[in-house]
Amino acid sequence: MIVKLICKLLQAFLKRSGRGTSLPGEIALKLDKNILKKFKMPKTTIFVTGTAGKTSITGTVSNILREAGYRVGTNSKGSNLSYGVVSTLIDNSSITGKSKVDALVIEIDERYVKKVLPYITPDYFIISNLSRDQLARNGHFDFVFDDVNQEIKEKTHLILNADNPLSSRFALDKNNPVTYFGVQKNKYSSLEYKDKIDVTYCPKCKSKINYEYFNYGNFGLYHCTNCDFGRNLPKYEAKLENENIIIDGQQIKMPNDSLYNVYNIAAAYTLAKEIGIESEKIANALNNLNLETKRFEEFSIGDNKGTILVSKNETPISYNQSLNFVSRLEGEKVIAIGFTRISGRYDDKDISWLYDIDFGLLNKVNAEKIILFGKYAYDLAVRLNIENIDMSKVQIVYDYNEVYNTLKECDKEIYCVFYFDMEKELKKQLKENGEKIW
């Protein structure tokens, strides 16, 4: 109790000073490594993990529950490591550890599942997807799978992506309740990714897996050529119709028709239905969704308009979706790409992951100019040159402090494929110059 009191006082001080951080959880774990055992969970506990989409799904689920009348505690805007989880529990519990909310919705980094699930058994566990990610931290995705899989308790209801074989794999040899979500074949489905996928052999019998189509990355319709492993029929399957989706008979408006948005919505919808919220209430919450954490933002710059597509370094499945989105847009445009740090968590100089990203998609873009920002701009230029990008269109700006001044000189609509560091710097410079961000 003393540890919780100290950390709650620290948390209150940090909030008043506008510095709500995961520090209280970090201190709590140092003072008591078993502190996670000492919280009483609310009626409903939901965990969300996966390579991509964790933050969006967590925020979306939280919004749906609030609209349905739940008191919700979540870390959707904070750390998804173990100390971030502890901070969220401290924030949403009394000094005695009793929960003050009806539901906890916890985003958890896939490599930290093994540090949290031994202490907390969630009622529902959304595993949105798995794919190649951050080599220096994650190694191979099989390591990530093992870390997560060994911690899943039998009573937890799994919400799995039917279109992602690495997500579906979590249901093998288990007696857990399982509900699948997925996305129908659509105008973006193809066999184009067949030579760039992560999963070519069946996780059950090691025979060849055959894909009939891909929606993107390793998501699609697949089956083993030897055993019964394959895409399970989703209970909730989203159908893409222009910039709307139809799921469970409900029409949901989308900010854009990027497939990662469709999958995130499908995952959140599935969870909400499985805990008993009415379809109409879920659809209404989704149609009025206003997430504070966004990976897609628009801005004005002079007389021009721009869009920021925040793309995680080292995560091809995320980065390729941003490039795919830009490649589908009509009209001449300016593309800006850049980062000054490879990771926000560790100091690493490995850029091999650039060769997992399909920069060849830029050959499909009607680009007047491609601007490369930051200290890795020349590395990006080499990568683009290998993809036979027209280098006469490429401009290198090594000094990221010049991002605003450079973009202001452009006379076409701008699309910025930026890591978090460049996004933060651009938004700072936009605000300093009185530009709008929405």
Residue 35 has pLDDT above 90, yes or no: no
pLDDT score for 343:
75
Lowest mean pLDDT among 50-59, 70-79, 418-427: 70-79
Q: How far apart are CA 20 and CA 199, in angstroms?
A: 40
pLDDT score for 255:
75
Segment 398-405 mean pLDDT: 94
Q: How far apart are CA 91 and CA 279, in angstroms?
A: 31
Angle between helices 82-91 and 23-31 (to 10 degrees): 100
pLDDT score for 150:
94
pLDDT score for 1:
58
DSSP category for residue 194: T
pLDDT tens sequence across 61-89: 999 999 999 999 998 666 777 868 888 88
Q: Which comes out higher in pLDDT, residue 15 or 141?
A: 141
Query: Percent of the chain, pLDDT > 90?
Result: 61
Residue (of 314, 298, 232, 241) closest to 270 by Cα position? 232
Q: Report angle CA 189, 110, 211 to the nearest 5 degrees.
A: 25
Count the alpha carbons within 13 Å of 258 in the hemisphere toward its beta carbon: 22
Q: How confident is the model at residue 323 (pLDDT cuts 50, 70, 90)?
A: very high
Tokens of 331: 């009209």
**Domains of the chain and CATH, by start:** 2-287 (3.40.1190.10), 296-432 (3.90.190.20)
Q: Tell me the range of 14-18, 350-354, 427-431 where mean pLDDT is highest.
A: 427-431
pLDDT score for 78:
65
Residue 332 has pLDDT above 70, yes or no: yes
Q: How confident is the model at residue 90 (pLDDT cuts 50, 70, 90)?
A: confident
Segment 44-68 mean pLDDT: 94
Residue 388 has pLDDT above 80, yes or no: yes
Q: Report angle CA 273, 278, 280 to the nearest 5 degrees.
A: 115
Q: How far apart are CA 215 and CA 221, in angstroms?
A: 8
pLDDT score for 111:
84
Q: Which residue has tokens 């920002």? A: 373
Angle between helices 279-287 and 54-67 (to 10 degrees): 120
Q: What is the CA radius of gyration of the chain?
A: 22
Q: How far apart are CA 25 and CA 82, in angstroms?
A: 8
pLDDT score for 186:
93
Q: Which comes out higher in pLDDT, residue 312 or 307?
A: 307
Q: How confident is the model at residue 101 (pLDDT cuts 50, 70, 90)?
A: very high
Residue 16 has pLDDT above 60, yes or no: no
Segment 28-41 mean pLDDT: 82
Question: Could you tell me the CA-to-CA distances from 32 to 28, 99, 108, 294 in Å, in that order?
Answer: 6, 19, 20, 34
Would strands 333-338 and 367-373 be described as parallel, antiparallel, or unpaired? parallel
Residue 430 has pLDDT above 60, yes or no: yes
pLDDT score for 301:
95
Can you point out the beta strands (E) in 27-177? 44-49, 72-74, 103-107, 124-127, 157-161
Q: Do 179 and 274 contact (CB within 8 A), yes or no?
A: yes
**The amino acid at 179:** T
**The amino acid at 433:** N
Lowest mean pLDDT among 106-115, 255-264, 378-387: 255-264
pLDDT score for 68:
96
Residue (of 290, 313, 289) closest to 423 by Cα position? 313
Confidence (pTM) = 0.86
Tokens of 58: 């967590």
pLDDT score for 189:
92
Residue 206 has pLDDT above 80, yes or no: yes
Q: How far apart are CA 268 and CA 265, in angstroms?
A: 5
pLDDT score for 294:
57
Cα 372 to chain centroid, rounded: 24
Residue 292 has pLDDT above 60, yes or no: no
DSSP category for residue 190: B
Q: Tell me the range of 90-104, 131-145, 224-238 where mean pLDDT is highest.
A: 224-238
Q: Which comes out higher in pLDDT, residue 142 or 423?
A: 423
Burial class of 319 by CB neighbour count within 10 A (0 to 12, 13 to 18, 19+): buried
Tokens of 15: 């909030």
Q: Which comes out higher in pLDDT, residue 396 or 11?
A: 396
Q: How confident is the model at residue 11 (pLDDT cuts 50, 70, 90)?
A: low
pLDDT score for 86:
86
Q: Left if phi > 0, otherwise alpha if psi is -120 to 50, otherwise beta: which for 78?
A: beta
Segment 86-97 mean pLDDT: 84
Count the alpha carbons within 13 Å of 304 in the hemisphere toward its beta carbon: 18
Residue 21 has pLDDT above 80, yes or no: no
pLDDT score for 81:
75
Can you point out the beta strands (E) in 117-266? 124-127, 157-161, 178-183, 209-216, 219-224, 236-241, 244-247, 250-253
pLDDT score for 164:
94
Residue 431 has pLDDT above 70, yes or no: yes
Q: Which residues pair with 180 in a beta bridge?
A: 160
pLDDT tens sequence across 186-199: 998 988 766 567 78
Residue 3 has pLDDT above 70, yes or no: no
Q: How far apart are CA 164 and CA 168, in angstroms?
A: 6
Residue (of 307, 296, 282) closest to 413 by Cα position? 307
